[in-house]
Amino acid sequence: MLATAIESIETIIVDLPTIRPHKLAMHTMQNQTLVIIRVRCADGIEGIGESTTIGGLAYGNESPDSIKTNIDRHFAPLLLGQDSANVNAAMLRLERSIRGNTFAKSGIETALLDAQGKRFGLPVSELLGGRVRDALPVAWTLASGDTDKDIAEAEKMLDLRRHRIFKLKIGAGEVNRDLAHVIAIKKALGDRASVRVDVNQAWDEAVALRACRILGTNGIDLIEQPISRNNRAGMARLNAMSPAPIMADESIECVEDAFNLAREGAASVFALKIAKNGGPRAVLRTAAIAEAAGIGLYGGTMLEGGIGTLASAHAFVTLNKLAWDTELFGPLLLTEDILSEPLVYRDFELHVPKTPGLGLSLDEERLAFFRRDKTSTAIHLA
């Protein structure tokens, strides 16, 4: 057997409380559920990954339960005994046999990259081509739905020097109230902060056309996924007519989607999410498509915990241009953590570790406390 063969894979569902309910157009989060992936190798190296989605099946085709089941039943038999040091070969083996399941694939790829980084004594960013920055500006989502509360929260974040980019989740309410809410917040913050909106596909094209014009003329910097991901022609029309740039998020569920959106001029900005592309390496392929097409980049999140957040960050710090910054605030939404040391947010930025792998370690006691299944479910090489 290879010295770096994959000996076991364990998936652990972890439920963590959040600081407040987090409202999206299609769902309100009351807590966050992570799927933690532990890949143990014959040379004693362990790689850690994370697969996290939002709202069960309200957002996409994968849920924490399906991610765990599919990794245990379908991914593990393909990976056990394979060379963990050849990340490319391992992921291609999965691609040949398993369609979609990008969230699960992202967690596996993250774990393999973490193991490889530890093996070679290198940060994951160096395995991905080499970092060109050490920290990333991070946006904060204002999602209470109450204008005064959101303004007060934004002012607090500015005072703490934690965030000066704010995204507002709208689309669930009546459009005129949503617009008034956003414009009032932008007026209160002025030039001290960038204000963006995320509609999560909630509008039809006619509503979006009017709303985008109003938002753009009132200083809103970016409008994320205003209409259905399936209406790429409508996205292109909006992108051509809106005073504020249109960003594609749900429209990108794989690298091929990014190519088609770029070809059709359906967005001026792409939200990069490792979970929706299938891993840190895959998201960089989407970034390359965007860069070739002159499309701006934004480092997105699925509100991952610390593991998934750092996996994204290690990919994003390698990008030549990241004009629209990131929203890697997922760990800040949680009241509890399963890492030995929290991520470092300082002076409006997330600082990315230079230590081997992802640069983190698990707090085993807290992991044991918050895991849903209290007994090990590792799948071992026969």
Catalytic residue positions?
169, 327
The crossing angle, in degrees rounded to 10, of helices 205-217 and 175-189 is: 20
Distance from chain centroid for Cα 230 = 21
Q: What is the DSSP string of 66-124?
A: HHHHHIIIIIHHHHTTSBTT-HHHHHHHHHHH--S-HHHHHHHHHHHHHHHHHHHT-BH
Alpha carbons 53 and 59: distance in angstroms, whole number: 8
Burial classification of residue 357, based on how many CB atoms lie within 10 Å of its CB (0-12 exposed, 13-18 middle, 19 or more buried): buried
The crossing angle, in degrees rounded to 10, of helices 102-120 and 280-293 is: 100
DSSP conformational letter for 231: -
Longest dimension (CA), the chain: 64
DSSP conformational letter for 19: E
Alpha carbons 18 and 137: distance in angstroms, whole number: 22
With CA atoms as reference, report the closest residue to 11 among 85, 95, 107: 107
Distances (CA, A) of 50 to 73, 358, 374: 17, 11, 18
